[in-house]
Structure 1
Amino acid sequence: MDFIFFIPFVLILILIILYIIQFREQKRIREQIFELANNTLELTPQEFLEMRNRSFGGKGKPLYSNKYNFSGVYILHNKSKNLFYVGQGKQVLNRVNTHFIGRGNGDVYADYKYGDQWTIKMIALENSGFNTLNDLERYAIETYDSYRNGYNKTRGNK
């Protein structure tokens, strides 16, 4: 008879332990994203565009950014409104560029053109500790809460 009363207690204890484990894992990932983002160079759009358009010179004037493009995620921060946009790309420099020349997220571009202050951070997938761009992007979006308080308005392929 005492055993029947013990089962709910054990189940509640197991649920509490699982919740604590999940919470700790989410915290670890959030800290990892912040650490990755804080160890990267932060640029304004003007600095980014200037850097991106520098060339080696010579025939055809190849751009530095074409040689040093990388796979990863980028975090666009509208400092004027404290909103974030997180995206990914196999060529991050190209993807970031699209947002500031009017071919990316329309809301980001509109706020940029209307004079809001922005910063850009980029995180390479290589050596990030994540296996895929989707994982890295998903956790960065969660970390910066850019669905509820940002420009990422859809989840998945919507």
Structure 2
Amino acid sequence: MDYIFILPFFLILLLISFYIIQFLEQKKIREQIFELANNTLELTPAEFMEMRNKSFGGKGKPLYSSNYNFAGVYILHNKSKNLFYVGQGKQVLNRVNNHFFGRGNGDVYADYKYGDQWTIKMISLENSGFKTLNELERHTIETYDAYRKGYNKTRGNK
């Protein structure tokens, strides 16, 4: 008869423990993403284009070196509206470039074209601690709340 009272208490304790562990794991991942982003160069679109033109082939077709055009995620921050867009690419420099020439997220391009101020951060998958681009992107979208309060239309790929 005592087991009837102990079992619900035990199940509630188990459920609370599960949520605490899950919360701590999510907090650890957010801290990891912020650390990765804070340890990368932050560029404006103009600085990005200048770097691209000087370092990777100049005018015309971009001739990005495979050493620089890495697999990773990028964080586009609309500083004027404090909104984020997170994306991924096997050649991240090409993907970032596309957004500022109208071949990416249409809302990002429209806000850029109409004069909003932007910054760009890029995180390499290599040495990030994540196994796949999808995993890194999904956690970065969540960290920057880019789905609920940003430009992302999905929570990322599974």
TM-score by length of 2: 0.92
Per the alignment, in what secondary structure is the counterpart of residue 66 of structure 1?
A: coil
Query: What CA distance in whole angstroms lies between the structure 2 residues aligned with 1:62 and 1:107?
Result: 24
Residues 98-139 of structure 1 show CA distances to partners (whole Å, capped at 9, x for unaligned) of: 001111111101100100000000000000000000000000
Taking the TM superposition and a 5 Å limit, the aligned residue runs for 1:51-62 are 51-55=51-55
1:93 aligns with 2:93: yes
Change in 2 beyond 3 A, CA 1:88/1:62: closer
Aligned-residue sequence identity (percent) comes to 84
Query: What CA distance in whole angstroms lies between the structure 2 residues aligned with 1:56 and 1:30?
Result: 32
Unaligned 5+ runs, structure 1:
none
The residue type paired with residue 14 of structure 2 is: I
The residue type paired with residue 106 of structure 2 is: G
How far the C-alpha of 1:56 sits from its partner, in A, is 6.8
Residues 85-106 of structure 1 show CA distances to partners (whole Å, capped at 9, x for unaligned) of: 0000000000000001111111
Change in 2 beyond 3 A, CA 1:24/1:61: closer
Taking the TM superposition and a 5 Å limit, the aligned residue runs for 1:1-158 are 1-55=1-55, 63=63, 65-67=64-66, 68-155=68-155
Query: What CA distance in whole angstroms lies between the structure 1 residues aligned with 2:147 and 2:62?
Result: 37
Per the alignment, in what secondary structure is the counterpart of residue 65 of structure 2?
A: helix
Residues 9-59 of structure 1 show CA distances to partners (whole Å, capped at 9, x for unaligned) of: 0000000000000000000001000000000000000000111112577xx
Q: How many residues in Structure 1 have an aligned counterpart in Structure 2?
A: 154
Query: What CA distance in whole angstroms lies between the structure 1 residues aligned with 2:155 and 2:61?
Result: 39
> Quick check: 2:71–2:89 contact (8 Å CA) kept in 1?
yes
Unaligned 5+ runs, structure 2:
none
Query: What CA distance in whole angstroms lies between the structure 1 residues aligned with 2:94 and 2:24?
Result: 35
* Aligned CA-pair RMSD: 1.8
Per the alignment, in what secondary structure is the counterpart of residue 69 of structure 1?
A: coil
Query: Stretches of 4+ moved more than 4 A in 1?
Result: none
How far the C-alpha of 1:156 sits from its partner, in A, is 5.4
> Quick check: 1:55–1:62 contact (8 Å CA) kept in 2?
no
Query: What CA distance in whole angstroms lies between the structure 2 residues aligned with 1:61 and 1:103?
Result: 15
Query: What CA distance in whole angstroms lies between the structure 1 residues aligned with 2:137 and 2:61?
Result: 33
Query: What CA distance in whole angstroms lies between the structure 1 residues aligned with 2:104 and 2:61?
Result: 25
